A and B are shown apart, each in its own frame.
Chain A
């Protein structure tokens, strides 16, 4: 028998018993909706966790710290140098590696002053900083250009009173983007003279209001190559503060980075890369490793939620099986007639499977529509109150919609399988006997 003919017969049979069909479909509708809504809550929870972690820092980034000890116990194997960068870059799935060269500087604008780390990072890394105003530093400019964090001004204190924002709660009158400020570098060990004051152009301001935190908010950034040039110019042959020295107290003739950012191509590969780096003897840290743990938790919550939904789907499956069984008892004679007239056993089985699958299909579709409705209500009237935070707590991604309907069809057909086989095995003699 052709599939379309089977489908027509099945649908006509469902139409014949409208009320019963509607009630069974209702069961599947509720079952599907409860699974979809529960899973959507799980997904929402999971995604919100990821979003939260993302706000702490890029999830594809690994921070690698050098591991060379302190003072006289310097172990040169633990240095992160340009050679190390090349090794890190060779690890599979590493997109790009940016060393961070940082040096402690003092900033001053008017009476306000603050100490902070000036971080030199690669131009690729700089590109990840979202700016509110201006541009990223030009690596080819003659002088070093800066990007200032949107919250850096908070750290300034009044040099006369010795009090700042953290003491008084009053924002210091500091505008690092529009007004110039002085920067002084640290003294080198041998050079005890007073350091020169520099003014560097500020090319960009990190995105966000003064009270909107992101990972770049408190930073002062520049291009690493320019920082190197600048440092060499200032300290010449002397040891640069913060850089390790050899056993004789002499500086190395290359830069040693205390921090490297390794950017991985995809979230899924972060831990793999991180393990490779740890195996090389460095300290590696990523938000991903914490997220992984958090995700185990959300996965479990999701499984529990899905399980609750599955119970009502199970009840719906039983009701489909029941409906189909009843239908088969009622139609014993009709099935016999079909068999006498030469309808193949497979077609009879399929007819009932399609009937059950169709109940699942309609229930799945209606259930999905219901889910969207419930999801809307939860997001708009419950979500925020339920767990706090922003964003939708119930999220139905397209794949969930697709799977839900397919799942409903499969459940329907599974529930219909036993009745269908039962129908297939009915005797054709039932058609002959008169009731």
Chain B
């Protein structure tokens, strides 16, 4: 693996703060965060509940304004953009995978996947072709016409992934993408995300409170109380076999126990 410094920086975060005011008390959801993320990287953000993972991700995706600090994505200061510009920015550069899938109930699988492309004004035929490609890629080539309520959670999340990928964004954000899935499906979905993103040299940033899942990532950011306490380079080639074994047998391996207390 090349050294980090030699690679292209996609996201640069500098001295980022998010403070929620609740009456007299202030909640420091993010308390001075600095980091860089490189093109083609799969980063996981972990930490205990309430530590500020979602807050960070939302700000990177331009869904919330920071209280202070800079977020530079592909050279653009997104903390300075207004609502309208943020939407345009997301449309052009960002894919998003939700914990609760958030497929549109009125649309079938292929239409859901094609939806972000329609926001770009891409003609229907082109959209559907692209959507078909990505649905096939996530293994749902046979479920194109299924409505969300006719699919399992895992299938819905694959559609969600295909939707995030279909517009071929540079960066994909995922907040607890497997939070509602069982362990076997979680494995499948995670491997799928990892694999596709790697193939297309996209940047994937995933929030999870599960340290085991974080081991799929190239780097793991650990947040506690709004501060990054640890960034871990992950050599997952070694870990994966054990992890998968653990999930399949249902018996946690030693390695997993260890990583839980970090």
Contacts and interface: CB of A to CB of B under 8 A. Distances in A.
A434 B102 CA distance: 10
B100 interface: yes
B102 A429 contact: no
A338 B98 CA distance: 12
B104 A429 contact: no
B98 A337 contact: yes
Interface string A1-36: 110010001001101100000000000000000000
Contacts of A338: 119
A341 B84 contact: no
A340 interface: yes
Contacts of A193: none
Interface string A333-354: 1100111111111010000000
A344 B63 contact: no
Contact of A341 (B58, B83, B88, B163): B163
Interface residues of B, number: 33
A431 interface: yes
B98 A432 contact: yes
Nearest to A342: B91
Contacts of A333: 102
Given A13-B106, A337-B104, A342-B87, A429 B118 contact: no
B98 A347 contact: no
B61 interface: yes
Contact of A16 (B54, B83, B106, B119): B106
Given A340-B61, A434-B99, A2 B121 contact: yes
Most buried by B among A333, A341, A432: A341
Given A5-B124, A428-B63, A343 B102 contact: no
B118 A5 contact: yes
B70 interface: no
B38 to A, nearest CB: 23
Contacts of B116: 341-342
A344 B99 contact: no
Q: Interface SS of chain A: helix, strand, loop or mixed?
A: helix
Contacts of B115: 341
A334 B90 contact: no
Contacts of B84: 344-345
Nearest to B64: A429
Interface in A419-435: 427-429, 431-432, 434
B197 interface: no
A340 B90 contact: yes
Contacts of B104: 334, 337
Contact of B106 (A12, A337, A429): A12
A339 B123 CA distance: 20
Contacts of A427: 63
Interface string B82-117: 011001101110101011101011110000000110
Given A429-B58, A431-B102, A432-B58, A341 B121 contact: no
A428 B89 CA distance: 14
Contact of B90 (A13, A341, A429): A341
B149 to A, nearest CB: 12
Contacts of A337: 98, 102, 104
Contacts of A347: 119
B41 interface: no
B175 interface: yes
Contacts of B124: 5
Contacts of B118: 1-2, 5
A130 B215 CA distance: 101
A328 to B, nearest CB: 15
Contacts of B90: 340-342
B96 A340 contact: yes
A434 B91 CA distance: 23
Contact of A340 (B63, B83, B121): B63
B119 A432 contact: no
Contacts of B61: 340
B65 to A, nearest CB: 11
A341 B119 CA distance: 8
Contacts of A342: 87-88, 90-92, 94, 116, 119-120, 167
Contacts of A339: 87
Nearest to A427: B63
A334 B63 CA distance: 15
Interface in B58-73: 58, 61, 63-64
Given A342-B88, A344-B88, A1 B121 contact: yes
Interface in B36-79: 54, 58, 61, 63-64
A343 B119 contact: yes
Given A15-B106, A341-B90, A344-B87, 15 more contacts: A2-B121, A2-B123, A5-B118, A5-B124, A9-B106, A12-B106, A12-B107, A333-B102, A342-B88, A343-B87, A343-B91, A344-B88, A344-B119, A432-B58, A434-B99
Kindly list the 9 A-B residue pairs having the minimum CB-CB distance in the complex, ordered from nearest.
A342-B91, A342-B90, A337-B102, A5-B118, A12-B106, A341-B116, A343-B119, A428-B63, A342-B119
16 contacts: A12-B107, A13-B106, A15-B106, A334-B102, A337-B98, A340-B98, A341-B163, A342-B87, A342-B91, A342-B120, A343-B91, A345-B84, A345-B87, A347-B119, A429-B58, A429-B64
Interface of A: 1-2, 5, 9, 12-13, 15-16, 333-334, 337-345, 347, 427-429, 431-432, 434
